[in-house]
Amino acid sequence: MNILWVFAHPDTRSLNGALRDAALAELGKAGHRVEQSDLYRMNWNPVVRADDYGHDPTGRLHVATASSTALRRGSLAEDIVTEQAKLRRADAVVLQFPLWWFSMPAILKGWVDRVFVEGFGYGIRSEGGSTRRYGDGLMSGKRALVVTSMGGSEYTVSTRGINGSLEELLFPIHHGIFWYTGMSVLPPVLVASADRMTPKDYRAAVDGLADRLSTLFTDSPIAYRSQSGGNYDENFVLRSDLAPDEFGVRVHVG
Protein backbone atom coordinates (compact mmCIF):
# COMPACT_ATOMS: atom_id res chain seq x y z
CA MET A 1 0.00 0.00 0.00
CA ASN A 2 1.05 3.64 -0.41
CA ILE A 3 1.65 5.61 2.76
CA LEU A 4 2.35 9.31 3.08
CA TRP A 5 4.35 10.02 6.24
CA VAL A 6 4.32 13.70 7.19
CA PHE A 7 7.02 14.45 9.76
CA ALA A 8 7.22 17.71 11.69
CA HIS A 9 10.23 17.85 13.99
CA PRO A 10 13.23 20.17 13.60
CA ASP A 11 15.77 17.65 14.90
CA THR A 12 16.28 14.24 13.31
CA ARG A 13 18.23 13.13 16.43
CA SER A 14 15.15 13.62 18.59
CA LEU A 15 12.90 10.93 19.99
CA ASN A 16 10.51 11.64 17.15
CA GLY A 17 13.32 11.34 14.62
CA ALA A 18 14.29 7.94 16.02
CA LEU A 19 10.68 6.74 16.07
CA ARG A 20 10.22 7.90 12.49
CA ASP A 21 13.28 5.98 11.31
CA ALA A 22 12.12 2.83 13.10
CA ALA A 23 8.60 3.19 11.71
CA LEU A 24 9.73 3.67 8.13
CA ALA A 25 11.99 0.64 8.38
CA GLU A 26 9.04 -1.47 9.61
CA LEU A 27 6.75 -0.24 6.85
CA GLY A 28 9.43 -0.97 4.25
CA LYS A 29 9.87 -4.50 5.62
CA ALA A 30 6.12 -5.03 5.36
CA GLY A 31 6.33 -4.17 1.65
CA HIS A 32 4.61 -0.78 1.78
CA ARG A 33 5.68 2.11 -0.40
CA VAL A 34 6.30 5.16 1.79
CA GLU A 35 6.55 8.73 0.61
CA GLN A 36 7.70 11.31 3.11
CA SER A 37 7.10 14.95 3.67
CA ASP A 38 9.81 15.85 6.18
CA LEU A 39 8.66 19.42 6.59
CA TYR A 40 11.71 21.00 8.25
CA ARG A 41 14.11 19.24 5.85
CA MET A 42 11.95 20.43 2.94
CA ASN A 43 12.10 23.94 4.36
CA TRP A 44 8.31 23.94 3.98
CA ASN A 45 6.78 27.39 3.86
CA PRO A 46 3.81 27.28 6.25
CA VAL A 47 2.45 30.74 5.48
CA VAL A 48 -0.52 31.10 3.15
CA ARG A 49 0.00 33.90 0.65
CA ALA A 50 -2.21 35.16 -2.14
CA ASP A 51 0.39 34.17 -4.74
CA ASP A 52 0.03 30.52 -3.69
CA TYR A 53 -2.89 30.60 -6.06
CA GLY A 54 -1.29 32.25 -9.02
CA HIS A 55 -1.16 35.87 -10.03
CA ASP A 56 -4.28 37.85 -9.25
CA PRO A 57 -4.69 40.49 -11.95
CA THR A 58 -7.29 42.41 -9.97
CA GLY A 59 -5.22 42.48 -6.81
CA ARG A 60 -8.49 42.05 -4.93
CA LEU A 61 -9.19 38.35 -5.10
CA HIS A 62 -9.66 36.81 -1.67
CA VAL A 63 -7.47 33.80 -0.87
CA ALA A 64 -10.40 31.52 -0.06
CA THR A 65 -12.05 32.10 -3.40
CA ALA A 66 -8.79 32.40 -5.26
CA SER A 67 -7.96 28.78 -4.48
CA SER A 68 -10.81 27.29 -6.48
CA THR A 69 -10.08 29.71 -9.29
CA ALA A 70 -6.48 28.60 -9.20
CA LEU A 71 -7.44 24.92 -9.23
CA ARG A 72 -9.43 25.56 -12.39
CA ARG A 73 -6.51 27.44 -13.90
CA GLY A 74 -3.99 24.91 -12.63
CA SER A 75 -1.89 27.68 -11.15
CA LEU A 76 -1.42 26.53 -7.57
CA ALA A 77 2.09 27.00 -6.21
CA GLU A 78 4.39 24.12 -7.16
CA ASP A 79 5.03 22.96 -3.58
CA ILE A 80 1.28 22.69 -2.93
CA VAL A 81 0.70 20.71 -6.14
CA THR A 82 3.49 18.30 -5.16
CA GLU A 83 1.96 17.65 -1.72
CA GLN A 84 -1.52 17.21 -3.17
CA ALA A 85 -0.17 14.61 -5.60
CA LYS A 86 1.40 12.70 -2.69
CA LEU A 87 -1.93 12.77 -0.88
CA ARG A 88 -3.83 11.54 -3.94
CA ARG A 89 -1.44 8.59 -4.23
CA ALA A 90 -1.68 7.66 -0.53
CA ASP A 91 -3.84 4.88 0.89
CA ALA A 92 -2.91 6.05 4.38
CA VAL A 93 -1.66 9.36 5.74
CA VAL A 94 0.37 9.59 8.94
CA LEU A 95 1.03 12.89 10.69
CA GLN A 96 3.91 12.57 13.18
CA PHE A 97 4.75 15.44 15.49
CA PRO A 98 5.62 16.33 19.10
CA LEU A 99 2.68 17.89 20.91
CA TRP A 100 3.49 21.60 21.18
CA TRP A 101 1.15 23.82 23.14
CA PHE A 102 -1.65 21.28 22.96
CA SER A 103 -1.43 21.09 19.19
CA MET A 104 0.75 20.40 16.19
CA PRO A 105 3.85 22.48 15.41
CA ALA A 106 3.07 25.55 13.29
CA ILE A 107 4.96 24.17 10.29
CA LEU A 108 2.53 21.24 10.14
CA LYS A 109 -0.53 23.44 10.59
CA GLY A 110 0.84 25.50 7.71
CA TRP A 111 1.15 22.35 5.60
CA VAL A 112 -2.54 21.66 6.20
CA ASP A 113 -3.50 25.31 5.62
CA ARG A 114 -1.70 25.50 2.27
CA VAL A 115 -2.32 22.00 0.89
CA PHE A 116 -5.98 21.40 1.79
CA VAL A 117 -7.28 24.29 -0.28
CA GLU A 118 -10.79 24.82 -1.55
CA GLY A 119 -11.63 22.23 -4.19
CA PHE A 120 -9.20 19.78 -2.60
CA GLY A 121 -9.75 19.75 1.16
CA TYR A 122 -13.02 21.59 1.37
CA GLY A 123 -15.78 23.02 -0.80
CA ILE A 124 -16.27 19.77 -2.72
CA ARG A 125 -19.77 19.53 -4.18
CA SER A 126 -21.72 16.33 -4.73
CA GLU A 127 -23.72 15.92 -7.94
CA GLY A 128 -26.82 16.93 -5.97
CA GLY A 129 -25.13 20.21 -4.98
CA SER A 130 -24.53 19.46 -1.30
CA THR A 131 -21.09 19.97 0.20
CA ARG A 132 -19.14 16.78 0.77
CA ARG A 133 -17.50 16.78 4.19
CA TYR A 134 -17.38 14.86 7.48
CA GLY A 135 -16.91 11.35 6.21
CA ASP A 136 -17.05 12.30 2.56
CA GLY A 137 -14.71 14.27 0.32
CA LEU A 138 -11.74 13.86 -2.00
CA MET A 139 -9.85 12.00 0.74
CA SER A 140 -12.53 9.30 1.11
CA GLY A 141 -11.11 5.79 1.27
CA LYS A 142 -7.83 6.88 2.86
CA ARG A 143 -6.85 5.99 6.40
CA ALA A 144 -5.33 8.61 8.68
CA LEU A 145 -3.21 8.29 11.81
CA VAL A 146 -1.64 10.71 14.29
CA VAL A 147 1.63 9.64 15.89
CA THR A 148 2.54 12.09 18.61
CA SER A 149 4.64 12.46 21.75
CA MET A 150 4.17 14.67 24.75
CA GLY A 151 6.05 15.71 27.86
CA GLY A 152 3.06 15.16 30.16
CA SER A 153 2.08 11.73 31.40
CA GLU A 154 -0.77 9.68 29.95
CA TYR A 155 -2.79 10.52 33.10
CA THR A 156 -2.82 14.21 32.21
CA VAL A 157 -4.74 13.41 29.01
CA SER A 158 -7.14 10.85 30.52
CA THR A 159 -10.85 11.70 30.54
CA ARG A 160 -10.53 13.78 33.75
CA GLY A 161 -6.87 14.70 33.30
CA ILE A 162 -5.81 18.32 33.71
CA ASN A 163 -4.80 18.72 30.06
CA GLY A 164 -8.18 17.59 28.78
CA SER A 165 -8.59 14.16 27.25
CA LEU A 166 -6.48 13.10 24.31
CA GLU A 167 -9.72 12.73 22.36
CA GLU A 168 -10.47 16.42 22.98
CA LEU A 169 -6.92 17.57 22.25
CA LEU A 170 -6.81 15.78 18.92
CA PHE A 171 -10.40 16.52 17.90
CA PRO A 172 -9.41 19.47 15.65
CA ILE A 173 -7.06 17.18 13.71
CA HIS A 174 -9.11 14.00 13.82
CA HIS A 175 -12.54 15.46 13.19
CA GLY A 176 -11.72 18.88 11.76
CA ILE A 177 -9.11 17.81 9.22
CA PHE A 178 -9.08 14.04 8.67
CA TRP A 179 -12.79 13.23 8.99
CA TYR A 180 -13.84 16.55 7.47
CA THR A 181 -11.94 15.76 4.28
CA GLY A 182 -13.33 12.21 4.16
CA MET A 183 -10.53 10.13 5.70
CA SER A 184 -11.13 7.25 8.11
CA VAL A 185 -9.48 8.17 11.40
CA LEU A 186 -7.53 5.58 13.37
CA PRO A 187 -7.03 5.82 17.13
CA PRO A 188 -3.82 7.81 17.70
CA VAL A 189 -0.42 6.54 18.79
CA LEU A 190 0.74 8.52 21.83
CA VAL A 191 4.16 8.39 23.43
CA ALA A 192 3.65 10.11 26.80
CA SER A 193 6.23 11.23 29.37
CA ALA A 194 8.53 11.64 26.39
CA ASP A 195 11.08 13.88 28.11
CA ARG A 196 12.09 11.32 30.71
CA MET A 197 12.24 8.03 28.89
CA THR A 198 14.46 5.17 29.94
CA PRO A 199 15.94 2.84 27.30
CA LYS A 200 13.21 0.37 28.30
CA ASP A 201 10.50 3.01 27.72
CA TYR A 202 12.04 3.79 24.35
CA ARG A 203 12.03 0.12 23.34
CA ALA A 204 8.38 -0.13 24.39
CA ALA A 205 7.54 2.97 22.31
CA VAL A 206 9.26 1.55 19.21
CA ASP A 207 7.53 -1.81 19.65
CA GLY A 208 4.15 -0.19 20.34
CA LEU A 209 4.42 1.91 17.20
CA ALA A 210 5.49 -1.09 15.10
CA ASP A 211 2.49 -3.03 16.42
CA ARG A 212 0.10 -0.29 15.45
CA LEU A 213 1.64 0.07 12.00
CA SER A 214 1.26 -3.66 11.40
CA THR A 215 -2.52 -3.19 11.66
CA LEU A 216 -2.69 0.16 9.85
CA PHE A 217 -5.01 -1.26 7.20
CA THR A 218 -7.07 -3.53 9.45
CA ASP A 219 -7.67 -1.51 12.65
CA SER A 220 -11.21 -0.20 13.11
CA PRO A 221 -11.42 3.55 12.60
CA ILE A 222 -13.03 5.87 15.16
CA ALA A 223 -16.79 5.67 14.49
CA TYR A 224 -17.39 9.35 13.77
CA ARG A 225 -20.89 10.15 12.59
CA SER A 226 -21.16 11.17 8.96
CA GLN A 227 -22.77 14.44 7.99
CA SER A 228 -24.98 12.71 5.46
CA GLY A 229 -26.08 9.78 7.63
CA GLY A 230 -29.16 11.46 9.10
CA ASN A 231 -27.42 12.12 12.42
CA TYR A 232 -27.60 15.91 12.23
CA ASP A 233 -30.45 18.38 11.81
CA GLU A 234 -30.61 21.12 9.18
CA ASN A 235 -28.26 23.27 11.28
CA PHE A 236 -25.74 20.42 11.58
CA VAL A 237 -26.61 19.91 15.24
CA LEU A 238 -26.70 16.32 16.45
CA ARG A 239 -30.28 15.00 16.70
CA SER A 240 -31.55 15.30 20.27
CA ASP A 241 -32.35 11.58 20.52
CA LEU A 242 -28.72 10.61 19.85
CA ALA A 243 -26.41 10.57 22.89
CA PRO A 244 -29.06 12.66 24.75
CA ASP A 245 -27.15 12.92 28.03
CA GLU A 246 -23.75 13.64 26.53
CA PHE A 247 -22.15 16.80 25.21
CA GLY A 248 -18.80 17.95 23.91
CA VAL A 249 -16.70 16.25 21.28
CA ARG A 250 -17.71 12.74 22.36
CA VAL A 251 -21.21 13.06 20.90
CA HIS A 252 -19.81 12.91 17.38
CA VAL A 253 -18.74 9.30 17.86
CA GLY A 254 -21.60 6.88 17.19
Ligand X SMILES: Cc1cc2nc3c(=O)[nH]c(=O)nc-3n(C[C@H](O)[C@H](O)[C@H](O)COP(=O)(O)O)c2cc1C
Residues 194 to 223: which contact ligand X by CB under 6 A?
194-195
Tell how many helices (H) and how many strands (E) occur in the chain: 6, 8
Min CB(207)–ligand X separation in Å? 17
78 φ, ψ (degrees, to nearest 5):
-55, -40
Rule CB under 6 A: choose which of 70, 108, 146, 150 binds ligand X. Answer: 150
- Distance between CA atoms of residues 63 and 202, nearest Å: 44
Nearer to ligand X, 66 or 169 (CB): 169
- Indicate left, alpha or beta for 155 from its phi (over 0: left) and psi (-120 to 50: alpha): alpha
Closest separation between CB of residue 193 and ligand X, Å?
9
State which residue, 19 or 66, has the beta carbon closest to ligand X.
Answer: 19
DSSP, residue by residue, 103-128: B--HHHHHHHHHHS-BTTTB-EEPTT
Strand partners, 46: none
Q: Which of 1, 2, 12, 14 binds ligand X (CB under 6 A)?
A: 14
Binding mask of the shown chain, residues 155 to 194, with x at each position contacting ligand X by CB under 6 A: ---------------------------------------x
C-beta atoms surrounding 71 within 10 Å: 19
- Binding to ligand X (CB under 6 A) within 66-105 occurs at 98-102
Query: Binder to ligand X among 28, 151, 229, 244 (CB under 6 A)?
Result: 151
Q: Is 149 in the site for ligand X (CB under 6 A)?
A: yes
State in angstroms the smallest separation of the CB of 236 from ligand X: 30
Question: What sign for the dihedral angle of Cα 33, 38, 43, 44?
Answer: positive
Least Å distance between CB 102 and ligand X?
A: 4
According to the binding rule CB under 6 A, does residue 20 interact with ligand X? no
Element (H, E) at 82: helix 78-89
Piece in contact with ligand X (CB under 6 A), picked from 50-58, 64-72, 148-156, 170-178: 148-156
Distance between CA atoms of residues 214 and 194, nearest Å: 23
Find the shortest distance in angstroms from Cβ 240 to ligand X: 35
24-30, long-range: CB within 8 Å, 24+ apart, which pairs? 26/209, 26/210, 26/213, 26/214, 27/3, 27/213, 30/213, 30/214
Nearer to ligand X, 110 or 182 (CB): 110
Q: Which of 46, 119, 123, 152 binds ligand X (CB under 6 A)?
A: 152
Cβ closest to ligand X, residue 40 vs residue 102: 102
Binding site for ligand X (CB under 6 A): 9, 14-16, 98-102, 149-152, 194-195
